Structure 1
Amino acid sequence: VSVLLGEDPEAIVPAEGRAYELGRKLVRAIENKETYPEQEKYHAEMFDRMRALVMANKGRWHHEYEHWRAAGWISE
Structure 2
Amino acid sequence: MRYLTIGKFAADSGYTEDAVRAKIKTGVWLEGIVWTKAPDGRVLIDTEGYGLWVEGRQVFELQRKAASRSISITAVSAAANG
More helix by share: 1
Q: Tell me the TM-score normalised to structure 2 length.
A: 0.26
Q: Tell me the TM-score normalised to structure 1 length.
A: 0.28
Tell me which of the two structures has the higher relative contact order, counting C-alpha pairs closer than 8 angstroms and 6 or more residues apart: 2
More strand by share: 2
Report which of the two structures shows the higher radius of gyration computed on alpha carbons: 1
